[in-house]
Amino acid sequence: MDDDSALTAAADEVVDGGSNGQPSSANGSAPRRRATAQSMAASQRDISVSEFFAKNRHLLGFDNPRKALLTTVKEAVDNALDACEEAGILPEIWVHIETTGESRFKVGVQDNGPGILKKTIPMIFGKLLYGSKFHRLRMSRGQQGIGISAAGMYGLLTTGKPVKIMSKISPRKPAHYYEIQIDTKHNKPEILNGRGEGVDVPPGEKGREAIEKLGIEWIEVNHGTRVTIELEARYQRGRGSVDDYLEQTAIANPHVTIHYQDPDGNAKSYSRVAESLPPEPKEIKPHPYGIELGRLVAMLKDSEAKTLSAFLSDTFTCVSPAVARRICETAKVSTRANTKRIGRHEADALYKAIQETKIKAPATDCIVPIGEELILKGLHQVVPAEFYVAATRPPAVYRGNPFVIEVGLAYGGEPTAHKVSREALEELLSQSDSRTLRQFLATSFEGLGFEAADRILKEAGLKTRISPGKLKKQSIDKLHEAMRNVNLSSGQSMNVLRYANRVPLQFQAGACAITQTIMQTNWRAYGLSQSRGGLPSGPVTVMVHVASVWVPFTSESKEAIAAYPEIQKELRLGFQAVGRKLGMYVKRRQKVKQEGQRRAIFLRYLGEVATACSRLNGADRERLYNDLLRVATKKTADADLRFDESGQPIIDEDPEEYGENVLIVDRQNGH
Amino acid sequence: MTPSTLEALVMPKKAPKRVPGEKKTPVKYTEQDKKTLGRLTGLADGVVLAAEKNREPHVDIPARTLSNVHYSPKKKIIEMGGNTNRRQLFNLSQAKSYMQTLLVATGCKQLIDEGKTTSIRGLFYILKHTIEGTKEETFSDQAECDPIIEDVEVALEALREELHVYASNRGTMVGEITLIDSGDEIDCTRLGSGGYSIPSICEPDVIRFRKCDAKFVLHVEKDTVWRRFNEDKFWRKHKCILTHGGGQPSRGVRRLLYRLHNELKLPVFCLLDNDPWGYYIYSVIKQGSINLAYESRRMAIPDARFLGLRSKDFERCGLSKSVQIGLNDTDRKRAKQIAGYPWFEHKKEWQHEIRQLLDNGFKLEVEALISKDISYVTEEYAPQRLREKDWLD
Ligand SMILES: Nc1ncnc2c1ncn2[C@@H]1O[C@H](COP(=O)(O)OP(=O)(O)OP(=O)(O)O)[C@@H](O)[C@H]1O
Ligand SMILES: [Mg+2]
């Protein structure tokens, strides 16, 4: 398929240009011939994908030690969740990270999934491009068959340690324990333990003894898999960290329980808020709309169908024989034509005919959105805010692939910088690799930009250019004070959480269609401030979920979503849906705030007025004051009220007013 | 402004912490005091009553605006109309001035209770303090306080002196009169070069006229001109009283002129600059001001006359071009405005006068006459105008 060939093409390029640092060919202008076709042929050979990716690890998300740690955790967790869901098991995941040396960590991820059959374990963990998800159109987190073996390969390359797998498919059957390393030359697994056969661990008490003896890390479950990878990495909290990833995973997967233990031994759990699994996504055939001409030609060649009509209705979803006939008629090609004989010209006509024929939208049950209700629950559990709104768009199609856009938004509440404890701050400072304090603040805390960082530093009376690690105790105190006191909501920029098939995307925000579309949306209309073409600002978090049978990533490291016009359009509609409701809420909140300020102004003069009157006529000051206070409260009763769109007061805030899928958390009158 | 000793006495550093009713020395109230106190109490009663009935308290303040004054052709003075502005506590833009209004009232009550008077600046200091629980001052500066004092005057229909507040002295007098000021006899023929400083309160209980040989009053615009006339002993030669008001005459000066005119039957002549400002000063002396329309009836002198300078004087007196001061846009606007005043509107001579000023395109100060001869104004100009009865009415 396309992506497959893209990989090969990339690999070819490397082979051509990269082998001996030789120019690939004489390009006329070269004064002297350095290599001949013959000499070059000697160095031209097949390279394995493993070799290719070992050299180009950034393509898979291993560009630096910090990201390597995250990618490893991520690949293992994604697989665990995919496996559990596919097997219909409510996922419970354990993530343990342990420091094993300077810049060395051991990552262990265990699930309560179905387990893996003995014979496929080595291939899954010791061979790139081996997986169950690539050759199908079905919504899942993993899709390429590279993820976990690449992580294992990275571990092997940096520490020389093999990947350790323990997997069990039933409480009565033995578990299998493997120590595997990938043979990068041949993209093939090598089993190191049990004389190349792995070890079977019997069920029950005996097994427990064996686990103890072999030093296998294992949490007792009836079935499940544990992967342990040791790698060279760096652990640092803040944006783009493992902690962040797990937190965001919890938001988009409210049916998952995660137990996390960080390298410092701190334990944190996210408990599921939904007790049922999302419905099982169905595997589908591609939809004819948007299929590219080249792909259509390739499909025709590969097809085993006897007639064109059969090809169309077998290969594509939503194409009945009647629809197939209409396509053929429009293309002026016989329905009974032999697919192998379809020429370039006819294929072109077919392609055009497909676009012109009315074909119903693909079945939507192949995509399982999180759903508005669960988005609200998930956001509410993790992001403290006052107002939550969610919108799940109806399914749409890009390049023949159905997809669904979901948007959740949380507004109000304290930014994370306000919540950070003195201890946590000190730790963050000591771990930071930011060169300046300013950079540290802007990159470590969600929704805190450089402008807010500057204000914090000014308040704390600290220089912007000090190195975070060199801060004295007293200065840390001051910084902590300032972080709590400075009003961060002005100038704080929108916190964007991006997801593809429930997996958080943490890097390459700028290259992602989600971020780009947010910036192109006019959020000012919804009561947020926004400079032209930038992210809006304010205490607001947006989560965006792109769910599809095939998510169009911009690269293999699955970090950013490609900007297909159909996807951007749906994103825009999603933002508008939540934006409108946000706008209503913000307007009401402003009104309430204004009334509150009005009241405060009256109150500040009441005391003077009461005193003056009692001096003039001897009236009882306290009584008069209380009377006036009562009038003031009545007069500004609006401060206690909320208003609907037409300015009518609402006696009790009623989320129904906003329509469905809005959650309002009363945090003391919204002040 | 020079603070008097009294002012120093009543100028506390901090907010007054006196409990009402707790007086240091018992004071005998005058009848007027009792009346004023009654009105002050009434102001507070209104607040208490409203609050008890769960209503928003307010004070109605007669509007001191152009739209609320009218000219009475019969009395020939500006009078205040019946329009009032409602000032409310529970109105964002009025809350603070409402509070300030009540504060001014308490300040006045305190002064009356203690039998003292103070300047408007003194009152400002009495009332200025930080509002409890805030960093806000009750009054940020005196300019904020002064109009509130005037508001209280009109709202309570009490004159400034009845509230025990006075403005600073402005204006000087000299001439053929002897008066008694607070028990001291003052012979205005024997005051040297400085003259008698006209107090801000010129009520009969402060100033009584003892003996008067003057036949008229000459009021000039400002100190410099007044000094010329005094040095030349104009008042002796022409048997008159010579005053100036330092520009726009204060209430004290106007009140004194009014009393000289009405009680001693002295005609009042004004010698002012030939410009819109000069016309305006004359207008205020004659008909009263918009701002203090409620005081017109005790201050305005409809019979006052305008002796000069006139628009025709540049030619008539043969002045040199260098004394001309060009009119600017505001001057022209003001001049047209004044020409439209009801009391000038139907006076042909005034219309002609103002039109000529505009035609000239320049204004003249009285001092311009000095360019002819240092005593030209006292020896020729003024005597000649008086002799020829050449003035505007
Ligand atoms: N914890 C697990 N439990 C059960 N099966 C697993 C588990 N981890 C991986 N697998 C199986 O191994 C296959 C290969 O996993 P891998 O992560 O290499 O690729 P992938 O998930 O298919 O795609 P991607 O490269 O996008 O992650 C998966 O397709 C899945 O069938
Ligand atoms: Mg995977």
Active site residue B166: no
Q: Which ligand is in closest contact with the Cα of A226?
A: 1
Ligand 1 atom with minimal separation from the A113 CA: 3
How close, in Å, is residue B28 to chain A by CA atoms? 18
- Enter the tokens of residue A104: 């060395």
Q: How many domains does chain A have?
A: 4
Question: How far away, in angstroms, is A654 Cα from ligand 2 center?
Answer: 44
Q: Is residue A279, in this structure, part of any structural domain at all?
A: no
Asked if the peptide bond before residue B309 counts as cis, ω within 30 degrees of 0, the response is: yes
CA dihedral (A524, A530, A531, A532) positive or negative = negative
Domain containing residue B75: 3-166
Residue of A594, A606, A617, A638 to mutate for B, most B C-beta atoms under 10 A:
A617
Q: Which of A612, A618, A627 sits opposite B103 (nearest CB)?
A: A612
Chain A environment of B47 (Cβ under 8 Å): 609, 613, 624
Least confident of A127-136, A270-279, A641-650, B382-391: A641-650
Query: CA–CA separation, A75 vs A124, rounded Å?
Result: 12
Q: Does B184 lie in the same domain as B123? A: no
Per-residue pLDDT, A1 = 39
Per-residue pLDDT, A155 = 93
Helix (H) or strand (E) holding A551: none
Question: How far away, in angstroms, is A541 Cα from ligand 2 center?
Answer: 28
Q: Does B188 lie in the same domain as B159? A: no
Q: Does A193 lie in the same domain as A338? A: no
Residue of B36, B59, B89 to mutate for A, most A C-beta atoms under 10 A:
B89
Q: Does A565 lie in the same domain as A461? A: no
Q: Which ligand is in closest contact with the Cα of A130?
A: 1
Of A217, A233, A249, the domain-final residue: A233
Distances B2 to B8, B122, B127, B167, B226 between C-alpha atoms, Å: 10, 11, 19, 11, 22
In this prediction, residues A190-202 reach a mean pLDDT of 91
In this prediction, residues A192-204 reach a mean pLDDT of 90
If one residue of A50, A71, A79 were mutated to test the ligand 1 pocket, choosing by the most ligand atoms within 8 A of its CB, it would be A79
Q: Which residues contact A656 (CB under 8 A, 6 or more apart)?
A: none
Chain B environment of A604 (Cβ under 8 Å): 131, 133-134, 136
End-to-end C-alpha distance for chain A, whole angstroms: 56
Searching chain A, which residue's CA lies closest to the CA of residue B109? A616
Report long-range pairs for B59-62 (Cβ below 8 Å, ≥24 apart).
Answer: B59/B86, B59/B87, B59/B98, B59/B101, B59/B155, B60/B84, B60/B85, B60/B86, B60/B87, B60/B155, B61/B85, B61/B86, B61/B87, B61/B101, B61/B151, B61/B154, B61/B155, B62/B154, B62/B155, B62/B294
B70: β partners: B79
Of B166, B198, B214, the domain-final residue: B166
Q: Which residues contact B390 (CB under 8 A, 6 or more apart)?
A: B384
Segment B281-340, tens digit of pLDDT: 999 999 888 878 888 888 899 999 999 899 998 888 888 888 889 989 889 999 998 898
Return the higher-pLDDT residue of A667 and B184: B184
Residue of A598, A621, A629, A631 to mutate for B, most B C-beta atoms under 10 A:
A631
With an 8 Å Cβ cutoff, is B59 touching chain A? no
Question: How far away, in angstroms, is A411 Cα from ligand 2 center?
Answer: 33
With an 8 Å Cβ cutoff, is A637 touching chain B? no
With an 8 Å Cβ cutoff, is B49 touching chain A? no
Q: Considering only CA atoms, which of A194, A167, A160 is closest in space to residue A179?
A: A194
Q: Is residue A226, in this structure, part of any structural domain at all?
A: yes
Query: CA–CA separation, B238 vs B376, rounded Å?
Result: 15
Q: Is residue A35, in this structure, part of any structural domain at all?
A: no
Query: CA–CA separation, B360 vs B243, rounded Å?
Result: 29
In this prediction, residues A155-174 reach a mean pLDDT of 93
Q: Does B224 lie in the same domain as B108? A: no
Name the E strands within A380-515: 387-392, 396-398, 401-411, 495-500, 503-505
User: Please, are residues B226 and B195 in contact by the beta-carbon 8 Å criterion?
Assistant: yes
Q: Does B320 lie in the same domain as B224? A: yes
Q: How many domains does chain B have?
A: 2
Query: CA–CA separation, B60 vs A480, rounded Å?
Result: 53
Q: Which residues contact A51 (CB under 8 A, 6 or more apart)?
A: A184, A185, A187
Q: Considering only CA atoms, which of B133, B149, B50, B102 is closest in space to residue A612?
A: B102
Q: Does B383 lie in the same domain as B245? A: yes
Give me the amino acid identity at A645: E
Chain B environment of A613 (Cβ under 8 Å): 44, 47-48, 102
How close, in Å, is residue B109 to chain A by CA atoms? 7
End-to-end C-alpha distance for chain B, whole angstroms: 35
Chain A environment of B95 (Cβ under 8 Å): 601-602, 605
Give me the amino acid identity at A16: D
How close, in Å, is residue B55 to chain A by CA atoms? 6
Query: CA–CA separation, A409 vs A378, rounded Å?
Result: 11
Q: Is residue A505, in this structure, part of any structural domain at all?
A: yes
With an 8 Å Cβ cutoff, is B22 touching chain A? no
CA atoms within 13 A on the CB side of A260: 20
Q: Is residue B393, in this structure, part of any structural domain at all?
A: no
Domain containing residue A308: 288-356
Q: Does B271 lie in the same domain as B137? A: no
DSSP classification of residue A627: H
Of B135, B166, B197, the domain-final residue: B166
Identify the residue whose C-alpha is closest to ligand 1 atom 13.
A131
Q: Does A436 lie in the same domain as A390? A: no
In this prediction, residues A393-401 reach a mean pLDDT of 85
Chain A environment of B51 (Cβ under 8 Å): 624, 627-628, 630-631
Q: Which of B40, B57, B131 sits opposite A616 (nearest CB)?
A: B40
Band (A321; pLDDT cuts 50, 70, 90): very high
Query: CA–CA separation, A234 vs B96, rounded Å?
Result: 61
Return the higher-pLDDT residue of A629 and A238: A629
In this prediction, residues A339-360 reach a mean pLDDT of 89
Residue A26 predicted with pLDDT over 90: no
Q: Is residue A16, in this structure, part of any structural domain at all?
A: no
- Answer whether B109 sits within 8 Å of A616, measured CB to CB: yes
- Answer whether A618 sits within 8 Å of B20, measured CB to CB: yes
- Enter the tokens of residue A247: 């937190």
Question: How far away, in angstroms, is A132 Cα from ligand 1 center?
Answer: 7
- Provide the CATH number for the domain around residue B48: 1.10.10.10
How close, in Å, is residue B135 to chain A by CA atoms? 10
Per-residue pLDDT, B6 = 41
In this prediction, residues A609-637 reach a mean pLDDT of 88
Per-residue pLDDT, A315 = 87
- Provide the CATH number for the domain around residue B335: 3.40.1360.10
Of B150, B166, B182, the domain-final residue: B166
If one residue of A78, A94, A120, A133 were mutated to test the ligand 1 pocket, choosing by the most ligand atoms within 8 A of its CB, it would be A133
Q: Does B307 lie in the same domain as B362? A: yes
Q: Considering only CA atoms, which of B242, B176, B252, B170 is closest in space to residue B209?
A: B176
Band (A30; pLDDT cuts 50, 70, 90): very low
Query: CA–CA separation, B295 vs B284, rounded Å?
Result: 11
Q: Does A410 lie in the same domain as A312? A: no
Q: Is residue A272, in this structure, part of any structural domain at all?
A: no
Percent of chain A exceeding pLDDT 70 equals: 86
- Enter the tokens of residue A55: 């050299």
Distances A583 to A122, A577, B48 between C-alpha atoms, Å: 54, 10, 43
Per-residue pLDDT, A8 = 38
Q: What is the DSSP string of A486-507?
A: S--STTPBPEEEEEETTEEE-S
Distance of CA A488 to the CA centre of its chain: 25
Per-residue pLDDT, A519 = 95
Give me the amino acid identity at A262: D
In this prediction, residues A62-72 reach a mean pLDDT of 91
- Provide the CATH number for the domain around residue A474: 1.10.8.50
Per-residue pLDDT, A461 = 87
Q: Is residue B269, in this structure, part of any structural domain at all?
A: yes
Q: Does A519 lie in the same domain as A374? A: yes
DSSP classification of residue A386: S
User: Please, are residues A390 and A545 in contact by the beta-carbon 8 Å criterion?
Assistant: no
Of A462, A485, A508, the domain-final residue: A485
User: Which ipTM score applies to this complex?
Assistant: 0.72
Q: Is this prediction's pTM over 0.80?
A: no
- Answer whether A613 sits within 8 Å of B103, measured CB to CB: no
Q: Considering only CA atoms, which of B310, B307, B282, B284 is closest in space to residue B296?
A: B284
Q: Considering only CA atoms, which of A666, A656, A654, A642 is closest in space to residue A587?
A: A642
In this prediction, residues A596-620 reach a mean pLDDT of 86
Distance of CA A551 to the CA centre of its chain: 12
Q: Does A595 lie in the same domain as A660? A: yes
Q: Does A403 lie in the same domain as A527? A: yes
Q: Is residue A17, in this structure, part of any structural domain at all?
A: no
Return the higher-pLDDT residue of A484 and A388: A388
Question: How far away, in angstroms, is A14 Cα from ligand 2 center?
Answer: 25
- Answer whether A613 sits within 8 Å of B44, measured CB to CB: yes
With an 8 Å Cβ cutoff, is B23 touching chain A? no
- Enter the tokens of residue B30: 């005058």
How close, in Å, is residue B45 to chain A by CA atoms? 7
Per-residue pLDDT, A649 = 45
Q: Which ligand is in closest contact with the Cα of A556?
A: 1
Q: Which residues contact B392 (CB under 8 A, 6 or more apart)?
A: B305, B306, B310, B347, B349, B350, B353
Q: pLDDT truncated to tens, each residue of chain B (393 aa)? A: 444 434 444 444 444 444 544 545 567 888 888 999 999 999 999 999 998 998 889 999 888 777 788 888 888 888 888 888 889 888 878 888 999 999 999 999 999 999 888 988 899 999 998 888 777 889 988 888 988 998 898 888 888 888 988 877 789 999 999 999 988 999 999 998 899 999 888 888 889 999 999 999 999 998 999 999 999 999 999 999 999 998 889 888 999 999 999 999 999 999 999 999 999 999 999 988 887 888 888 889 999 999 989 999 888 888 888 888 998 988 999 999 889 888 888 889 999 999 999 999 999 999 988 888 888 899 999 999 999 998 988
Distances A496 to A376, A504, A507, A514, A542 between C-alpha atoms, Å: 15, 11, 11, 9, 5
Query: CA–CA separation, B99 vs A625, rounded Å?
Result: 13
Q: Does B113 lie in the same domain as B240? A: no
Q: Is residue B116, in this structure, part of any structural domain at all?
A: yes
Residue A335 predicted with pLDDT over 70: yes
Segment A426-477, tens digit of pLDDT: 888 888 878 888 888 877 776 677 777 888 888 888 887 888 888 888 888 8
Query: CA–CA separation, A624 vs A622, rounded Å?
Result: 5
Q: Which ligand is in closest contact with the Cα of A189?
A: 1
With an 8 Å Cβ cutoff, is A608 touching chain B? yes
> Which is catalytic among the residues B98, B125, B166, B294?
B125
Q: What is the DSSP string of B350-370?
A: HHHHHHHHHHHTEEB-GGGGG
Q: Is residue B392, in this structure, part of any structural domain at all?
A: no
Q: Is residue A15, in this structure, part of any structural domain at all?
A: no
Q: Does A475 lie in the same domain as A526? A: no
Of A190, A212, A233, the domain-final residue: A233
Per-residue pLDDT, A414 = 61
User: Please, are residues B361 and B327 in contact by the beta-carbon 8 Å criterion?
Assistant: yes
Query: CA–CA separation, B367 vs A123, rounded Å?
Result: 112
- Provide the CATH number for the domain around residue A222: 3.30.565.10
Q: Does B376 lie in the same domain as B233? A: yes
List residues near ligand 1 (CB under 6 A): A 75, 79-80, 83, 111, 113, 116, 124, 131-133, 142-149, 225
In this prediction, residues A168-176 reach a mean pLDDT of 93
Query: CA–CA separation, B299 vs B302, rounded Å?
Result: 10
Per-residue pLDDT, A47 = 64
Name the E strands within A309-400: 387-392, 396-398
Q: Provide the mean pLDDT of chain A.
A: 83
Q: Is residue B218, in this structure, part of any structural domain at all?
A: yes
Q: Which residues of B318-350 are buried (b: 16+ CB within 10 A; e: fewer)?
A: ebeeebeeebeeebeebbeebbebebbeeeeeb
Q: What is the DSSP string of A183-238?
A: ETTTTEEEE-SGGGT-EEE-SHHHHHHHHHHHT------SSEEEEEEEEE-----S
Q: Does B193 lie in the same domain as B290? A: yes
Q: Does A566 lie in the same domain as A471? A: no
In terms of DSSP bridges, do strands A257-261 and A92-101 run parallel, antiparallel, or are they unpaired? parallel
Query: CA–CA separation, B77 vs B84, rounded Å?
Result: 20
Searching chain A, which residue's CA lies closest to the CA of residue B105? A616
Searching chain A, which residue's CA lies closest to the CA of residue B55? A631
Q: Is residue B320, in this structure, part of any structural domain at all?
A: yes
Question: How far away, in angstroms, is A81 Cα from ligand 2 center?
Answer: 10
Question: How far away, in angstroms, is A7 Cα from ligand 2 center?
Answer: 17
Residue count of chain B, please give it.
Answer: 393
Q: Does B291 lie in the same domain as B229? A: yes
Q: Does A393 lie in the same domain as A443? A: no
Q: Is residue B153, in this structure, part of any structural domain at all?
A: yes
Per-residue pLDDT, A668 = 40
Q: Which residues contact A587 (CB under 8 A, 6 or more apart)?
A: A527, A643
Q: Does A479 lie in the same domain as A500? A: no
Q: Is residue B86, in this structure, part of any structural domain at all?
A: yes
Segment A478-532, tens digit of pLDDT: 888 888 777 666 567 888 999 999 999 988 899 999 999 999 999 999 988 888 8
Q: Which of B52, B56, B103 sits opposite A608 (nearest CB)?
A: B103
Q: Does A206 lie in the same domain as A155? A: yes
Query: CA–CA separation, A573 vs A407, rounded Å?
Result: 10
Q: Does B303 lie in the same domain as B363? A: yes
